[in-house]
Amino acid sequence: MKRLELAIESIILASRWLLVIFYIGLGLALAVYALSFGKKLYEFVSTVFALGDTDTILKMLGLIDAALVASLVVMVIISGYENFVSRFDENEGKVHWLGTIDVGSLKVKVASTIVAISSIHLLQVFLNSVSYTTDQLMWLTIIHLAFVVSALMLAYIDRLMGLGKTKKAEAE
């Protein structure tokens, strides 16, 4: 019976390597997104002198938005692999935060990035508000506020979990 239990545990533990397919897929999606970013950058550079101030800001916010999304994908790939699959081997080019992002803090960072992306999108909408109805502006603002509240709640829960760990360590 013990042999069967060990075999099942080995299979379950080995199944984490299936996540590698998802992280490689995210890396490939990031490469495709980089091509999309390159196209946006080319269009911006080629029309920059014909754009007004508001349109220039809108285009730049679109580029910032894309950079935030790309950073989010990289953060998920690296910390997800590190947390769920395998630790990265030591190397000189090691990212300083590698290994310090646990699942809870990853959720907070993802939520914070989503709030930043939502903020940029909302700013783009407000700069181009003549294209939107009052109801659309209201709902976009409410959705953004839902993201903000969610991020704050995740950060609060992560902080509580951290305080609990600190108190437990002090008691030992």
Could you please report the per-residue DSSP string of the chain? -HHHHHHHHHHHHHGGGGHHHHHHHHHHHHHHHHHHHHHHHHHHHHHTTTS-HHHHHHHHHHHHHHHHHHHHHHHHHHHHHHHHT-PPPP-TT--TTTTT--HHHHHHHHHHHHHHHHHHHHHHHHHTGGGS-HHHHHHHHHHHHHHHHHHHHHHHHHHHHHHHHHHHHHH-
d(CA 172, CA 169): 5
User: Which pLDDT band holds residue 128 (cuts at 50, 70, 90)?
Assistant: confident
**How many CA atoms within 13 Å lie on the side-chain side of 51?**
14
165 has pLDDT over 70: no
Length of the chain: 172
26 has pLDDT over 80: yes
CB neighbours of residue 137 within 10 Å: 14
Predicted pLDDT at 146: 94
Q: Which two structure tokens, joined as six digits, stand for 128?
A: 């181009």
Give burial (CB, 10 Å; 0-12/13-18/19+) of 103: exposed
- Average pLDDT value for residue range 6-19: 90
- Looking at mean pLDDT, say which of 50-64, 79-93, 96-110 comes out highest: 50-64
pLDDT in tens, 144-162: 999 999 989 888 888 887 7
45 has pLDDT over 90: yes
Predicted pLDDT at 22: 94
pTM over cut 0.75: no
- Average pLDDT value for residue range 60-74: 90
The residue assigned the tokens 């091509």 is: 35
Write down the domain spans for the chain: 19-101, 103-172
User: 148, 115 in Cβ contact below 8 A?
Assistant: yes
Mean residue pLDDT of the chain comes to: 85
Predicted pLDDT at 47: 93
List the single range of 80-94, 124-138, 150-164 with lowest mean pLDDT.
80-94
- Looking at mean pLDDT, say which of 58-62, 102-106, 164-168 comes out highest: 58-62
User: Which pLDDT band holds residue 91 (cuts at 50, 70, 90)?
Assistant: low
C-alpha gyration radius of the chain? 21
